[in-house]
Amino acid sequence: MQVFKFGGASVKDAAAIKNLAEIVRQYQEDELLIVVSAMGKMTNALEQLTTAYINQTAEVQTIFAGIRAYHDQILTELFDPSHPIFDEVENTFVEIEWMIEEEPHDDPNFIYDQIVSIGELVSSRIVTAYLNQTGIKSKWLDVRGYIQTDNTYREGLVDWQKTSESIKESIPSFLQKEKVVTQGFIGGTSENFTTTLGREGSDYTAAIFASCLNAASVTIWKDVAGVFNADPKRFQNIIKFDQLSYPEAVEMAYYGASIIHPKTIQPLQNAGIPLFVKPFLTPQDNGTVILGEELPVKVPVIIVKTNQVLVSVSSKNHSFITENHLSEIYKILAELHFKVNLMQNSALSFSFCVDFESGKFEQLMQKLKQDFNFKYNTGTDLITVRHYEISLLRELSAGKTILLEQLSRNTAQILIKAEN
């Protein structure tokens, strides 16, 4: 039994979905659970729709119409007009229609999860219908009935006991009869509300199912040949890893490598399940496999996180920054679901770097200014180098304004002013 995860690029249009079906066809004899992301850049589009709805701006209907037209184009290229999938997709979009006709809910994170999750619900229905149309018997499952979370909207915390029980109860019998297609990124609460597991959380979904079902492996199908020591779109002369250890993959994901969601590795490592990262355009290639504990990395690994903000906080009475101050600051960051990418403190100030999200950042500033003085720099990039060499650090930062630099035994981080 295997788990496959197909990301947005692998289901971005009709041709991509046909390619997905051909990959799945190669595993006709295997039990296969397929996790699907939203199509193409639909999560971004749905985020724009959410923001427009919350702010009650005029472009709500225009954005929504564009989202529907995008999916209609794919449906038209894949199916006869009489196919029931057209009604299924339309009925799913009605959930958004009902919501945007009402006044916005008080909690923007709740609104986000109810709207943005529609991307996965629609894409998984289309994929299921196309697999069945091409002779690959498949069953659509609503993941919200299986992955149970708390009410932390935008970053739902999985209730592993309930989730494991739900998955083990019925899914093995489904897999014996047909392929199972479900959604990545989303879960459900005990009140039947939709939650999301964090941006790019479909990898994590695949790991949850694999862990609960004791799968033989998980394969993430990407638009790259595997895991590299740097972003192929940003750097030249890069190296593809044939194999990585779980700990190294965790470190890379933690520091922002976009190839894998940070929460993906732990459940797989605990269950000893290998993770394959393979190219969907050349599925016969080996890609990269992640497994095992001891596998030294002999080349530097470069990770770049853009759109960062550096915040420096000091006490209003000019006292030392103590553990009590740090506890208060971290409590605020945790409440707003900020992940600290870099931090450093001196006697009188504490500096930290987080992803810049304008709405959330305004909330952060409002909370911090009650007890602290602060200043900040937006438009910064964070470069992290695992297994660094000093000469490489100097090369990466040459001619750039360095705002913060931090070196440990294995990892170096440099925060620079982003180039225009």
Give the bridge partners for 376, in sequence order: 311
| Ligand-binding site membership of 188 (annotated) | no
Contacts with 257 (C-beta within 8 Å, 6 or more apart), sequence order: 227, 301, 303
| Ligand-binding site membership of 43 (annotated) | yes
| Ligand-binding site membership of 40 (annotated) | no
| Ligand-binding site membership of 198 (annotated) | no
CA distances from 146 to 128, 166, 168, 184, 342 (A): 18, 5, 9, 12, 35
CB atoms within 10 A of CB 134: 15
Q: What is the phi-psi region of residue 94: left when phi exceeds 0, alpha when psi lies from -120 to 50, beta otherwise?
A: alpha
| Ligand-binding site membership of 5 (annotated) | yes
Going by the annotation, the residues of the binding site for ATP are 5-8
Going by the annotation, the residues of the binding site are 5-8, 43, 120
Going by the annotation, the residues of the binding site for substrate are 43, 120
